[in-house]
Chains A and B, each alone.
Chain A
Amino acid sequence: EAGVTQFPSHSVIEKGQTVTLRCDPISGHDNLYWYRRVMGKEIKFLLHFVKESKQDESGMPNNRFLAERTGGTYSTLKVQPAELEDSGVYFCASSATAARTDTQYFGPGTRLTVL
């Protein structure tokens, strides 16, 4: 069974440009999460999808970030326009249920560098 995949693995863009990150969850997982780790700080929650609906987007830093999950399968996270402080590693995770006891399986991450 394939794990969580993310694309691209690395992205280098200039300030003001747009970047779109993609996440493919484990097949059959209704729950999809985005997290990020910036400047060596803690990994922070961004948002949670249940199927195609945003269940919780309390961690989204501002309106330059837009996440979608059309059809309830893969998800995209767009940053527009990118700022220097957006540099970091963006992780996607998926789980079968949203129970606090359930394991969230992580992808390898996308390292974003904004110059």
Chain B
Amino acid sequence: GNSVTQMEGPVTLSEEAFLTINCTYTATGYPSLFWYVQYPGEGLQLLLKATKADDKGSNKGFEATYRKETTSFHLEKGSVQVSDSAVYFCALNAGNMLTFGGGTRLMVKP
């Protein structure tokens, strides 16, 4: 079946540090890949997505590239801010439903 594995948190960084959150997947067919973010007290918001191999999704300074050869979709940001503190979820869609990873909590300190 389909599955998503992402690094466990929490990840604690200082402001302006470089961020990488690893995400790998197992899927049948050709899934689309997503990163969702949940800020404190809020629901899930789409952060970025990529729908085919070698596509790069980007938004708010975050980037992730769909790597079919390594079945990965790692999330990166060059300089994090305190406001980026949230839980990040990697997900795939190989049919009609989303399959999520366990979520990674990011804490950014001033």
Contacts and interface: CB of A to CB of B under 8 A. Distances in A.
Interface of A: 4, 31, 33, 35, 41-45, 48, 55-56, 59, 91, 93, 98, 100-101, 103-109
Given A42-B101, A43-B100, A48-B96, A101 B45 contact: no
B93 interface: yes
Contacts of B34: 103
A109 B32 contact: no
Interface of B: 4, 31-32, 34, 36, 42-46, 49, 51, 89, 91, 93-103
A108 B100 contact: no
Nearest to B34: A103
B8 to A, nearest CB: 11
Contact of A45 (B51, B97, B102): B97
Contacts of B42: 108
Contact of A55 (B49, B96, B103): B96
A62 to B, nearest CB: 18
Contacts of B44: 43, 91, 93, 106, 109
B43 A103 contact: no
Nearest to B52: A101
Contacts of A106: 36, 43-45
A59 B43 contact: no
A100 B32 contact: yes
Contact of A105 (B46, B96, B97): B46
A105 B91 CA distance: 13
Contacts of B91: 43
Contacts of A44: 100
B101 A100 contact: no
A100 B96 contact: yes
